[in-house]
């Protein structure tokens, strides 16, 4: 009999290159691991054999109770600014890096369990997660990916058979998350705050090898690493804003070096356009409101810059500050350029003109004034491009307010000379019809809490193809009915 090849071909660079940046750890025992959702498409991209993972053995691996061959799981340490205040010691308090694998396109990926039990970084927490938030992260992360926005992915969700007490008894669950890495601004902050410059250097070199390999060995590699993170994060936040996403907890421990969205705790998509939109129950001051995300990201990147100063110009702090400030100062322009580009595409425009910003802002102020659904506006606007503005006008309490703007926009389209039907097609390729609507997410989660997964699977299926209209699924495109009321989300549950 030939031995079965291991399910995961681990190649663990973090453990190898960064001793002292983690503790080796194992998942807690749980009674009855059961696979709830498994992402076959992602498994394929990762070069994993679904037949081996959609089994009771797979469920045990994903629950953290069975170590796959070759695994040496670990909990990473990090720090972070949370709502502006510095916590010098956070770390994976309920997560385990199972290991890294090289995917089918040659990229290194972390496989991490979230909710697999307490670790030395749990700070009094139980180290667990419950089924609602685990599936929320699964749904939102996969929706983000389908929207073409860099994000951690979800490979699997299992229930554990445990009852976990949150705001009542809840089924325990574990998420298997896949990421380009779990390096966070907070990882740098942990070592910088302790004055461990050599460890910051080790970490920066590791980050370069993993995310900016072209910079390896270059004398100016640290400032260029910072530049890369600024560029990735500016593009990411522009993407969030263009699609109407509110991250909700943009702490520096939730700001990645890779430029991927991470931690779908209290996030949500807006329905009515509103820069002040906040969903998180704990964000009383609106620090992480929809419209503040670019400013907050720049603030988070300033915290990263601080950790890198001794590397950027070791013998001249003033010079290092000058160089880092120049890079950080480019953030607003990079962000604005990405946002303007994205908005042009959403409006079916190709040419860049001096009036773009004004055209877009005028539109947004009308949407805000009339609480118009952000997602449906762009989708129905594509119909207006072919001379059918009726559905669009129905989104407005007073449609006459948008008429003047529509005329202006139509003139722009005409001046560009593209056939209207082509404009509509182009617009529908970048403006989603289906986003994870808050009421649909809640419906799916509530039924999953009772062990019923039909709505979850239907929602996941719809969100896989967000631009493709499907008959019979009209309700997935609609904003929440009035009775749903104001929406609130919760952190770290």
Catalytic positions? 253
81 touches ligand ATP (CB under 6 A): no
- Residue appearing with tokens 């972390």: 110
Q: Which is nearer to ligand ATP, 139 or 363 (CB)?
A: 139
Q: Distance of alpha carbon 312 from its chain centroid, rounded?
A: 29
Q: Smallest gap, in angstroms, from Cβ of residue 473 to ligand ATP? A: 30
Selected binder of ligand ATP within 88, 332, 451, 492 (CB under 6 A):
492
Segment interacting with ligand ATP, rule: CB under 6 A, options 123-131, 138-146, 398-406, 409-417: 123-131
Selected binder of ligand ATP within 27, 33, 73, 93 (CB under 6 A):
93
Name residues whose C-beta falls within 8 Å of residue 185's C-beta, 6 or more positions apart in sequence. 80, 252, 253, 255, 256, 257, 300, 301, 303, 304, 307
∠ CA 188-10-136, rounded to 5°: 65
Cα dihedral sign for 362, 364, 366, 368?
Answer: negative
90 touches ligand ATP (CB under 6 A): yes
Segment interacting with ligand ATP, rule: CB under 6 A, options 6-14, 259-267, 313-321, 408-416: 259-267
Q: Smallest gap, in angstroms, from Cβ of residue 393 to ligand ATP? A: 42
Name residues whose C-beta falls within 8 Å of residue 483's C-beta, 6 or more positions apart in sequence. none
126 touches ligand ATP (CB under 6 A): yes
Q: Under a CB-based contact definition with an 8 Å cutoff, are residues 242 and 343 in contact?
A: yes
Give how many residues touch ligand ATP by CB under 6 A. 18
Phi and psi dihedrals of 293, rounded to 5? -60, -40
136 touches ligand ATP (CB under 6 A): no
Name residues whose C-beta falls within 8 Å of residue 430's C-beta, 6 or more positions apart in sequence. 342, 345, 346, 467
Confirm whether residue 12 is marked as ligand binding: no
Q: Under a CB-based contact definition with an 8 Å cutoff, are residues 252 and 260 in contact?
A: no
Name residues whose C-beta falls within 8 Å of residue 227's C-beta, 6 or more positions apart in sequence. 327, 330
91 touches ligand ATP (CB under 6 A): yes
Confirm whether residue 91 is marked as ligand binding: yes
Q: How many Å apart are CA 256 and CA 205, to the nearest integer?
A: 16
Q: Which string of x and - marks every residue 263-302 that binds ligand ATP (by CB under 6 A)?
A: x-x-------------------------------------
Q: Smallest gap, in angstroms, from Cβ of residue 52 to ligand ATP? A: 26
Residues that bind ligand ATP (CB under 6 A): 90-95, 122, 125-128, 249, 254, 262-263, 265, 491-492
Annotated binding residues for ATP, as ranges? 91, 93-94, 114, 126-127, 177, 184, 263
Annotated binding residues, as ranges? 91, 93-94, 114, 126-127, 177, 184, 254, 263
């Amino acid at each position: 009999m030939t031995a079965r090849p291991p399910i995961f071909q681990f190649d663990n660079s973090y453990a190898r290159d960064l001793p002292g940046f983690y503790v080796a750890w194992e998942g807690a025992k749980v009674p009855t691991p059961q696979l709830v959702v498994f992402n076959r498409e992602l498994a394929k991209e990762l070069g994993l054999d679904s037949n081996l993972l959609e089994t009771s053995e797979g469920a045990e691996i994903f629950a953290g109770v069975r170590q796959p061959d070759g695994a040496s799981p670990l909990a990473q340490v990090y720090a972070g600014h949370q709502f502006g205040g510095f916590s010098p010691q956070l770390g994976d308090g309920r997560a385990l890096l199972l290991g890294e694998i090289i995917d089918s396109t040659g990229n290194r990926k972390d496989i991490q369990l979230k909710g697999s039990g307490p670790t030395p970084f749990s700070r009094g927490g139980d180290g667990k997660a419950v089924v609602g938030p685990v599936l929320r992260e699964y749904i939102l992360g996969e929706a983000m990916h389908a929207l073409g926005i860099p994000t951690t992915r979800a490979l699997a969700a299992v229930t554990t058979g445990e009852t976990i007490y949150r705001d009542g008894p809840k089924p325990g669950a574990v998420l298997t998350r896949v990421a380009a890495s779990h390096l966070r601004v907070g990882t740098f902050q942990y070592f910088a705050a302790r004055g461990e410059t050599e460890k910051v250097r080790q970490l920066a070199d590791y980050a370069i090898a993993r995310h900016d390999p072209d910079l390896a060995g270059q004398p100016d590699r640290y400032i260029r690493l910072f530049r890369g993170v600024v560029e990735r994060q500016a593009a990411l936040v522009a993407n969030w804003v263009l699609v109407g996403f509110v991250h909700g907890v943009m702490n520096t421990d939730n700001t990645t070096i890779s430029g991927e969205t991470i931690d779908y705790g209290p996030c949500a998509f807006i329905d009515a356009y509103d820069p002040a939109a906040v969903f998180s129950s704990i964000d009383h001051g609106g620090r992480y409101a929809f419209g503040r995300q670019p400013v907050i990201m720049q603030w988070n990147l300033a915290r990263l810059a601080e950790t890198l100063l001794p590397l950027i110009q070791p013998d001249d702090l003033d010079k290092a500050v000058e160089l880092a400030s120049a890079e950080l100062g480019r953030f607003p322009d990079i962000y604005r350029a990405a946002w303007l580009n994205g908005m042009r595409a959403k409006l079916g425009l190709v040419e860049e003109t001096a009036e773009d910003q004004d055209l877009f802002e005028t539109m947004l102020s009308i949407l805000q004034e009339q609480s118009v659904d952000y997602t449906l506006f762009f989708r129905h606007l594509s119909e207006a491009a072919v001379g059918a503005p009726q559905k669009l006008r129905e989104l407005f309490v007073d449609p006459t307010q948008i008429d003047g703007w529509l005329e202006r926009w139509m003139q722009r389209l005409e001046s560009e000379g593209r056939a209207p039907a082509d404009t509509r097609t182009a617009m529908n390729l970048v403006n989603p019809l289906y986003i994870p609507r808050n009421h649909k997410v809640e419906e799916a989660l509530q039924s999953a809490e009772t062990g019923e997964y039909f709505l979850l699977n239907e929602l996941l299926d719809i969100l896989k193809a967000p631009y493709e209209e499907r008959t019979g699924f009209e309700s997935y495109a609609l904003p929440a009915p009035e009775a749903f009321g104001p929406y609130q989300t919760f952190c770290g549950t």
